Chain A
Amino acid sequence: MAYSLYLHIPFCTVRCAYCDFNTYAGLEALIQPYTDALCQEISLVAKSVGGTLPVHTIFLGGGTPSLLSPEQHGQILTCLAQHFQITQQCEITFEANPGTVSLAQLQALKVLGYNRISFGVQSAQPHELKLLDRLHSFEQVLSAVEWARKAGFANLNLDLIYGLPHQALETWENTLFQVLPLGAEHLSLYALSLEYGTPMRAWVEQGKLPSPDPDLAALMYETASARMSDAGYAQYEISNWAKADPALGDGETPALACLHNLQYWRNEAWLGLGAGAHGSAGGYRYSVTRSPKGYIERVMQGTPQPFPFSPAVVESEALDVATAMADTMLLGLRLTREGVSKARFAERFSVEYTQVFSQELRELTNLGLIEQLPERARLVPPAYLLANEAFRRFV
């Protein structure tokens, strides 16, 4: 079975007010040593396998991977190709800030082997971008998309955020109205969540910003859902849509869905590499130390560890079968069409989910939150916004 690789790039030009990811501004001097360490970690982990692992998705997330030079990207991708068996169709994505890319850069990255870009667009409204501390303008988004096409990228994702303080339904609709014509293959729409430790949460707590209205956010979600469908997108996860393309042979999940993220939602194995990355493989869930400096030191001085660990892994827990089964349900229910596949579940655990979770599934069905089909269990559309009620049964 093929693996996925997640590589974390913990550098940003500025930290956005809403973001609680593991990323740092002002550490540009560490980028080259970090790239070296990342390659070292890749080689240490790959060697611990005792064979060559097949890899069918690679995702460079951040942070801002587009801050790395094409040479640094080349160093990483070459290293990956040396140590893993990259499949022919492998999806290779990097995240980019629309304000920090150029045509030349995108062309260089395409040549290196990347075939998908995920742009953090967030909004088409200047004042909202400012509120979010984003450095880019919407004009730059237009250029970035144009350059990406020119460079030959045929698979683009755009991230948008709704439910912002002060945001009106009309403003959100206007953002969609401006973004949809760009024709991206994939869109992720996220409700703003006020994470602990972020400036935005502090502003709301101090009363400097109004608290986002969850009912309005719900309305925005439903409105977006309708617009997306009109524009020819198929929803396949609670917050994710891909262009419907029957020619590509869409199954329950569209062919243009993010294959890398599907790996998470199907609860299949991936390796997490780089500072603050999480992985799930070999019966463990684990995480790598968060500090870039600490990461570099640990990796460069460390000795090989048993698979799937690297010397920079600081936390791990063994996953027992019961947890793995519950996680498979919780994550699978996020997939709005595919749901939890009965066949996959039975194949993996040698038991039917209807046996293991009969009570939970019956309750959720009675509450009108899920439907149980012969080949899958999934949320029903009115329950997409109430999915925690279902998720809580599996923790």
Chain B
Amino acid sequence: MKSRNLRNFCIIAHIDHGKSTLADRLLQLTSTVSEREMQAQMLDSMDLEREKGVTIKASAVHMTYRAKDGQEYELNLIDTPGHVDFGYEVSRALQACEGALLVVDASQGVQAQTLANLYLAVDAGLEIIPVINKIDLPAARPVEVTQEIVDLMGVDAEQVITISAKSGINVEAVLEAVVKYIPAPTQDVEKPLRALVFDSHYDSYKGVIAYVRVVDGILNDADEVFALATETRFRPVEIGNFQPQMVAGKRLQAGDVGYVATGLKTVRECRVGDTLTLFSAKAETPLPGYQPAKPMVFAGIYPVENEDYPTLKESLEKLQLNDASLVYEPETSQALNFGFRCGFLGLFHMEIIQERLEREYDLDIIATAPSVEYEVEKTNGETIWIDTPADLPDESTINEIREPWMRIQIFTPQEFYGTVMDLVTKKRGQFVSQEYPAPGRVLLNYDLPLAELIIDFYDQLKSRTKGYASLDYHFHSYRTEKLVRLNVLINNAPLDALTMIVHKDHAFHKGQALVSKLKELIPRQMFEVPIQAAAGGRIISRANVSAIRKDVLSKCYGGDISRKKKLLEKQKKGKKRMKMVGRVEIPQSAFMAVLKLGDEQ
């Protein structure tokens, strides 16, 4: 069989460098989407994505392009998630391609995720086409950024394509380069079917839609399919490709990118990274690299009103249909009653889930401060995993506690070297190495406990470096540390939802900072409310929220009544949004207080 003019590629970039805008422009240039249908950031279909300006779910679009050589090419553009929380999905998407467009912002230049993604793409053996975007911005410095890329990749300056995706400048050159430099995929249709699932979403009519790259063999629409990792067997509802909406077809063969509508009920049954093959003629070995999604960050999610518990449960079930990396299980807190312990890929993922619960399901929820998963070896030899700090057993029964450490990369202008170093040290980080991939800037490698990374690290990094530093991180290892449990008592009763696990040397300081923050956040009540922090069986910090002295409308006459009543109604509503714990009204913000301890700590 004659091999087709086929190109599979993706776009990789640091967040906000214009990946989605470039994708939009390519869809327009290839007439995949008419002008009328064009809406900004076509590929980002969730409202939240468009609002946050990041791509959460990858997507794949089939385009046809008549190149200047007169030939027609089929192009598959695979859009990759732009946030480091979704690093695994990025690596799967890269596996589905032969080439990548590396997009760099003309004013910001190379950033941490540019580097991280570039290294991933090089590892995946992709042909890389460097593109500088946003050259029409006043702050653009294309010459310097070109030099950064030349230094980084060892390419010639002429190979760097400079464009403005937003105004459409020079975008055609990108398509020409795709056709010219990215190799066609191998198209071995004789081998048994192997198709890589690099993404999925849930469709209420067609079940789980698996996004696939066929590596070997042929899939016909009537074939029965088998997923090698999850060992699920199914007959597809339909197969086809995205243009960008789903268009059904008869077959997908080696080299193709498309979708398989599986009819399966949850994304768990057909996971990203899995290999699809034919049930009747199974491939012997799966494609490499499958990892089950592993949550790294955990938090309790509780309804403000106890009676919303069933709604919360239903909403999480629905979200999970579409999000294989969200895990949850029921949890009971003394203070917050019934809720769920949820596991997320990272902080950003957690934020998205919270927002979707509040916005799409209209729930008032309380999220507790995020935690990580600790490995605890007890004196009786038993090893347990703790993702809820309040579950940490008594100190005397613990042999040692191990916590997850990350390898992080911070890419920053050199002038901020000192302040970045200071921040990392305060957060218990350890220096690993440094590189100078671009003039005037330094790439710093550190090891840092994940627990420190998820608490206020990124915000502080941004503020200390005036927004210039960028960050990338990956799990490194579990390490034994001297960790203790920090309890918080409100009105003399422990509030389990505020319990933290902290390093022994930081316990005193953190306890004090947390107590003063809580004092700020908990409004004065009709009686005095003591707030205490305790570690190792001792009270290490204490503050009192003094009783409210004055809460009265001084003036209320005829003309005031309606307005004063509105004011009272507003206060009443505000109080209703607070969580009643014992006799104390606690605002939602207090449960996240630990995230706002700021620089003082």
State in angstroms the CA–CA spacing of A145 and B557 once bound together: 25
- Chain A interface residue count, CB cutoff 8 Å, equals 39
Cβ–Cβ contact A388 & B552, under 8 A: yes
Would you call B561 and A193 a contact (CB within 8 A)?
no
B288 at the interface (CB under 8 A from A): no
Residues of A within 8 A of B (CB): 6, 190-191, 193, 214-215, 217-219, 221, 238-239, 261, 263-264, 270, 272, 276-280, 285, 287, 317, 327, 330-331, 334, 367, 384-389, 391-392, 395
With contact pairs A215-B550, A385-B552, A389-B526 given, residues A278 and B559 touching in the complex (Cβ less than 8 Å)? yes
Q: Is the CB of B526 within 8 A of A386?
A: yes
Of the candidates A6, A193, A387, the one whose C-beta lies within 8 Å of that of B555 is A193
Comparing B115-123, B188-196, B469-477, B564-572, the segment that makes contact with chain A is: B564-572
- Nearest B residue to A217 via CB reads B550
Contacts of B556 in A (CB 8 A): 264, 331, 334
B558 close to A (CB within 8 Å): yes
**A367 neighbours in B (Cβ, 8 Å):** 526
Known contacts being A388-B568, A395-B568, A395-B569, is A278 close to B552, with CB within 8 Å?
Answer: no
Per-residue interface assignment for chain B, residues 539 to 556, with 1 indicating a CB less than 8 Å from any chain A CB and 0 otherwise: 000000010111111111
Could you tell me if B557 and A264 are in contact, using CB atoms closer than 8 angstroms?
yes
The reply to whether A264 and B550 form a contact with Cβ atoms under 8 Å apart is no
- Provided the pairs A218-B549, A218-B550 are in contact, do residues A392 and B558 lie with their beta carbons within 8 angstroms? no
The answer to whether B561 touches A327, judged by C-beta atoms less than 8 angstroms apart, is: yes
**In angstroms, how far is the closest chain B Cβ from the Cβ of A195?**
10
Residue among B548, B556, B572 with most chain A CB within 10 A: B556
Please indicate the chain B residues that have their CB under 8 angstroms from the CB of A272 in the complex: 558-559
Does B550 contact A191, Cβ atoms closer than 8 Å? Answer: yes
State whether A392 and B568 are in contact (beta carbons under 8 Å apart), knowing that A214-B549, A386-B552 are contacts in the complex. Answer: yes
Docked-complex contact B557 and A239, CB < 8 angstroms: no
Inter-chain pairs besides A278-B558, A317-B562, A385-B552, 18 sampled, C-beta below 8 Å: A219-B549, A238-B553, A264-B557, A264-B558, A330-B565, A330-B568, A331-B556, A334-B556, A385-B549, A385-B550, A385-B551, A386-B548, A386-B552, A387-B552, A388-B568, A389-B551, A392-B572, A395-B569
Neighbouring B residues of A388 by C-beta, 8 Å: 551-553, 568, 571
A386-B548, A392-B568 in contact; A190/B559 too (CB < 8 A)?
Answer: no
Contacts between the two chains (Cβ within 8 Å), count: 84
Docked Cα-Cα span, A287 to B444, in Å, equals 67
Q: Mark B565-589, 1 if CB is under 8 A from A, else 0.
A: 1001101100100000000000000
CB contacts (< 8 Å) of A278 on chain B: these are 558-559, 561-562
Task: Establish whether residues B551 and A239, one from each chain, have CB atoms under 8 Å apart when the complex forms.
Answer: no
B interface residues, tally (CB under 8 Å): 22
Could you jot down 27 A-B contacts, CB within 8 Å? A191-B550, A191-B554, A214-B549, A215-B546, A218-B549, A261-B557, A264-B556, A264-B557, A264-B558, A264-B561, A277-B559, A278-B562, A285-B561, A285-B562, A327-B561, A330-B568, A331-B556, A331-B561, A386-B552, A388-B551, A388-B552, A388-B571, A389-B526, A391-B568, A392-B572, A395-B565, A395-B572
Nearest B-chain residue to A264, judged by Cβ: B558
CA distance A367 to B547 in the complex (A): 14
B456 → A minimal CB distance (Å): 26
> In the complex, what distance in Å separates the CA atom of A384 from the CA atom of B552?
7
Give the chain A neighbours of B568 by CB distance below 8 A: 330, 388, 391-392, 395
Bound together, the chains give a CA A215 to CA B548 distance in angstroms of 8
Q: What is the CA–CA distance of A287 and B563 in the complex, to the nearest angstrom? A: 12
- Please determine whether B561 and A238 come into contact, CB atoms closer than 8 angstroms: no
Evaluate whether A391 and B553 lie within 8 angstroms (CB atoms) in the complex, with A386-B526, A386-B548 already known. yes
Residues from chain A with a CB closer than 8 A to the CB of B546 are: 215
Q: Is the interface of B mostly helix, strand, loop or mixed?
A: loop
Q: Contact between B550 and A221 (Cβ–Cβ < 8 Å)?
A: yes
Instruction: Using A331-B561, A389-B526, A392-B571 as known contacts, say yes or no to A239 and B555 having CB atoms under 8 A apart.
Output: yes
- Nearest first, the 8 A-B pairs at minimum CB distance are A218-B549, A278-B559, A218-B550, A191-B554, A387-B552, A264-B558, A395-B568, A214-B550
Residue pair B558, A270 in contact (C-beta under 8 Å): yes
Give Cα A219 to B546, complex, Å.
15
Residue of B nearest to A161 (CB): B554
Are B549 and A215 neighbours in the complex by a CB distance under 8 Å? yes
Residue pair A190, B550 in contact (C-beta under 8 Å)? no
Instruction: Please tell me if the beta carbons of A190 and B554 are within 8 angstroms of each other in the complex.
Output: yes
Whether A190 contacts B552 by the Cβ 8 Å rule is no
CB neighbours of B555 from chain A (8 A): 190, 193, 239
CA distance A391 to B551 in the complex (A): 10
Q: Which residue of A lies closest to B558 (CB)?
A: A264
Cα–Cα distance between A263 and B571 once the two chains are bound (Å):
26
| A276 vs B562: C-alpha distance when bound (angstroms) | 13
Closest Cβ of chain A: how far from B426's Cβ, in Å? 30
Flag if B553 contacts A6 (CB, 8 Å): no
* B residues less than 8 Å from A270 (CB atoms): 558
Question: CA separation between A6 and B560, bound complex, in Å?
Answer: 13
Look across to chain B and name the residue whose beta carbon is closest to the beta carbon of A237: B556
- Point out the residues of chain B lying under 8 angstroms from A218, CB to CB: 549-550
List the B side residues contacting A193 at CB < 8 Å: 554-555
Closest chain-B Cβ to A289's Cβ sits at a distance in Å of 14
Give every chain B residue within 8 A of A387 (Cβ-Cβ): 551-553
Instruction: Give min CB distance, B51 to chain A, whole Å.
Output: 29
Docked complex Cα distance between A239 and B550 (Å): 13
Q: Which residues on B sit within 8 Å (CB–CB) of A391?
A: 553, 568
**Nearest chain B CB to A133 CB, angstrom units:** 18
Most B C-beta atoms less than 10 A away, residue of A238, A264, A392: A392
Residues of A within 8 A of B549 (CB): 214-215, 218-219, 385
Chain B residue at smallest Cβ distance from A391: B568
**A106 vs B562: C-alpha distance in the bound complex, in angstroms?**
34
**Residues of A with C-beta under 8 A to B557:** 261, 264
When distances are taken between beta carbons in the complex, the residues of chain A under 8 Å from B572 are 392, 395
Expressed in whole angstroms, the Cα–Cα distance for A217 and B552 within the complex equals 11
Closest Cβ neighbor of B570 among chain A residues: A395
Residues of chain A within 8 A (CB-CB) of B550 are 191, 214-215, 217-218, 221, 385-386
In the complex, A87→B562 CA distance in Å?
29
Q: Give the shortest distance, in Å, between A63 (CB) and chain B (any CB).
A: 12
A64 to B410, CA, bound (A): 66
Contacts of A384 in B (CB 8 A): 552
Contacts of B548 in A (CB 8 A): 386
